[in-house]
């Protein structure tokens, strides 16, 4: 039986009057306590749910199947292990920079467009080198004229020597004629036919005079020959001077040619770092152009020392993308380096616990590709045991 508590003002139907008992009112604090409990419970549940999500996310990121593998790790296939590497060409990328410094006049190359050997990539202003060419040409012409004068002096000396030799021959003939006259007068004197001692003495003096004439002409010849040797020395010096001036002219012309930078071989400009009007100095921070020769691509894999014994020449390998693990190409080990070295700067993004990790470079020739490979692309090389 349920008892009712009524106010004194109420009018029950059975005629009985019931009075309301004085019961303390506690419904408002109870409701407040219940609402606070529900809020605290919901907060705890939300906190637990957030912590659960964070733990699951961390585990998923730490899972070896969701992120990139280490530089040398065992793959899902126990018969394979991998090493990191990157795509390159033999000899690497060629940095190009002009030998003649100054202002860039024009840039004619375009990035990623193949060019032939000798194609003009860009030009430098050549005003000063052209002036030096003109100056060198003038110096060369002057040296050539000096050489011509020296050679003419030698020719003249030759002619004078020839004339002097003729004069000596004439003087010798005079000696012979004087001797004949002397002998004739002496014979006459001995036979007493004609003449006297004075005549004989005169003939003898004529012979001596003729002989002295020969000696004089010979000394003149010696002087002329010395003059010729001197002239020949002038010629030799003039030839040296001409050669030096020719070298200066060649140097000036070469400087003009070096104002035009051409492709050294068939290849492709990968990156152009200069613009028209830019001044190039003697201490560049970067090359003017990064140039890739038209050579077959290869992969440089860095094998850690503990795995070197598992690599051998002609070993077949699989080349994969280091991020997606998709197969890019297949190749074969071409050679192993002869020295261990720290990781290359190009692979500095590969994080290792030991900064002094030593690796051996392994060159891999690419035999077939299923995806496009690009120079500098980081790859993972799978080595089957």
Domain of 224 in residue numbering reads as: 128-256
Q: Is residue 252 part of a domain?
A: yes
DSSP-assigned beta bridge partners for residue 299: 87, 364
**Is the domain of 145 the same as that of 248?**
yes
**Is the domain of 160 the same as that of 174?**
yes
Query: 92 with 298: CB under 8 angstroms?
Result: no
**Is the domain of 269 the same as that of 251?**
no
* Residues 6+ away with beta carbon under 8 Å from 326: 320, 371
Q: Which tens digits make up the pLDDT trace of 277-322?
A: 999 998 899 999 999 999 999 999 999 888 898 999 999 999 999 9
Query: 342 with 356: CB under 8 angstroms?
Result: yes
Tokens of 192: 């007493």
The edge-to-edge listing of strands for the beta sheet with 260-262 is 260-262, 120-124, 102-107, 279-280
**Is the domain of 228 the same as that of 137?**
yes
Q: Is residue 40 part of a domain?
A: no
For residues 43 and 34, give the distance between their C-alpha atoms in angstroms, rounded to a whole number. 14
Which of 278, 379, 293 minimizes the C-alpha distance to 328? 379
Which of 119, 85, 126, 129 minimizes the C-alpha distance to 289? 119
Q: What are phi and psi of 213, to 5 degrees?
A: -60, -40
Q: Is residue 8 part of a domain?
A: no
**Which DSSP symbol is given to 371?**
S
Give pLDDT, residue 345.
Answer: 45
For residues 50 and 60, give the distance between their C-alpha atoms in angstroms, rounded to a whole number. 15
For residues 93 and 111, give the distance between their C-alpha atoms in angstroms, rounded to a whole number. 14
Q: Is residue 50 part of a domain?
A: no
CA 38 from chain centre, in angstroms, equals 74
Tokens 């990064």 label which residue? 290
Last residue of a domain, one of 271, 287, 303: 287
**Is the domain of 134 the same as that of 168?**
yes
**Is the domain of 188 the same as that of 214?**
yes
**Is the domain of 176 the same as that of 230?**
yes
Q: Is residue 152 part of a domain?
A: yes
Q: Which tens digits make up the pLDDT trace of 326-378?
A: 999 999 999 999 999 887 644 444 444 445 678 999 999 999 999 999 999 99
For residues 240 and 147, give the distance between their C-alpha atoms in angstroms, rounded to a whole number. 9
Tokens of 303: 């094998």
**Is the domain of 196 the same as that of 342?**
no
Give pLDDT, residue 172.
Answer: 87
Helix axes 127-191, 197-258, angle to 10 degrees: 170
Assign residue 318 the CATH number of its domain. 2.40.30.170
Mean pLDDT of the chain: 82
For residues 85 and 301, give the distance between their C-alpha atoms in angstroms, rounded to a whole number. 4
**Is the domain of 266 the same as that of 119?**
yes
**Is the domain of 181 the same as that of 329?**
no
Q: Is residue 354 part of a domain?
A: yes
Task: Dump strand ranges (E) for 36-189.
Answer: 80-89, 94-96, 102-107, 120-124
Domain count, the chain: 3
Question: Residues 178, 184, 190, 191: what is their CA dihedral angle, to the nearest 10 degrees?
Answer: -170
**Is the domain of 228 the same as that of 112?**
no
Give pLDDT, residue 6.
Answer: 42
Based on its alpha-carbon atoms, the radius of gyration of the chain, rounded to whole angstroms, reads: 55
Q: Is residue 33 part of a domain?
A: no
Question: Residues 242, 244, 245, 246: what is their CA dihedral angle, to the nearest 10 degrees?
Answer: 80
**Is the domain of 156 the same as that of 106?**
no
pLDDT in tens, the chain (385 residues): 444 444 444 444 444 444 444 444 445 555 655 666 676 677 777 777 776 776 565 554 444 433 444 444 444 445 678 899 999 999 999 999 999 999 999 999 999 999 999 999 999 999 999 999 999 999 999 999 999 999 999 999 999 999 988 988 888 888 888 888 878 777 777 766 665 677 778 888 888 888 888 888 899 989 999 989 999 999 999 999 999 999 999 999 999 999 999 999 999 999 999 999 999 998 899 999 999 999 999 999 999 888 898 999 999 999 999 999 999 999 999 999 999 988 764 444 444 444 567 899 999 999 999 999 999 999 999 998 6
Q: Is residue 65 part of a domain?
A: no
Assign residue 196 the CATH number of its domain. 1.10.287.620
Helix (H) or strand (E) segment spanning residue 37:
helix 27-62
Which of 136, 123, 374, 133 minimizes the C-alpha distance to 268? 374
């Amino acid at each position: 039986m349920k008892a009712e508590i009524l106010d004194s003002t109420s009018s029950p139907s059975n005629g009985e009057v019931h009075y309301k008992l004085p019961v303390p009112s506690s419904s408002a604090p109870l409701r407040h306590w219940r609402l606070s409990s529900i809020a605290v419970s919901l907060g705890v549940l939300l906190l637990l749910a957030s912590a659960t999500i964070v733990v699951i996310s961390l585990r998923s990121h730490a899972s070896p199947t969701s992120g990139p593998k280490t530089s040398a790790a065992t793959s899902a296939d126990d018969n394979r292990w991998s090493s990191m590497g990157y795509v390159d060409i033999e000899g690497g990328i060629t940095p190009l920079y002009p030998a003649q410094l100054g202002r860039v006049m024009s840039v004619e190359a375009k990035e990623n467009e193949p060019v032939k050997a000798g194609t003009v990539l860009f030009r430098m202003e050549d005003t000063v080198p052209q002036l030096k060419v003109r100056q060198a040409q003038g110096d060369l012409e002057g040296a050539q004229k000096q050489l011509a004068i020296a050679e003419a002096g030698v020719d003249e000396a030759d002619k004078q020597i020839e004339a002097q030799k003729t004069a000596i021959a004439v003087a010798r003939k005079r000696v012979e004629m004087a001797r004949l006259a002397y002998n004739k007068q002496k014979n006459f004197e001995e036979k007493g036919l004609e003449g006297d001692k004075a005549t004989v003495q005169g003939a003898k003096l004529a012979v001596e005079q003729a002989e002295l004439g020969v000696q004089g002409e010979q000394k003149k010849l010696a002087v002329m020959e010395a003059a010729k040797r001197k002239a020949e020395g002038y010629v030799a010096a003039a030839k040296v001077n001409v050669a030096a001036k020719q070298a200066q002219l060649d140097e000036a012309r070469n400087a003009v040619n070096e104002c035009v930078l051409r492709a050294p071989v068939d290849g492709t400009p990968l990156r152009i770092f200069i613009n028209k009007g830019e001044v190039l100095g003697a201490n560049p921070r970067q090359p003017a152009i990064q140039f890739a020769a038209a050579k077959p691509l290869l992969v440089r894999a860095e094998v850690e020392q503990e795995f070197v014994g598992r690599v051998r020449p002609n070993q077949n390998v699989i080349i994969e993308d280091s991020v997606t693990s998709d197969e890019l190409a297949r190749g074969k080990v071409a050679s192993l380096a002869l020295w261990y070295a720290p990781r290359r700067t190009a692979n500095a993004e590969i994080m290792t616990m030991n900064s002094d990790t030593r690796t051996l470079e392994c060159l891999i020739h690419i035999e077939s590709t299923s995806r496009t490979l690009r120079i500098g692309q980081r790859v993972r090389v799978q080595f089957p045991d």
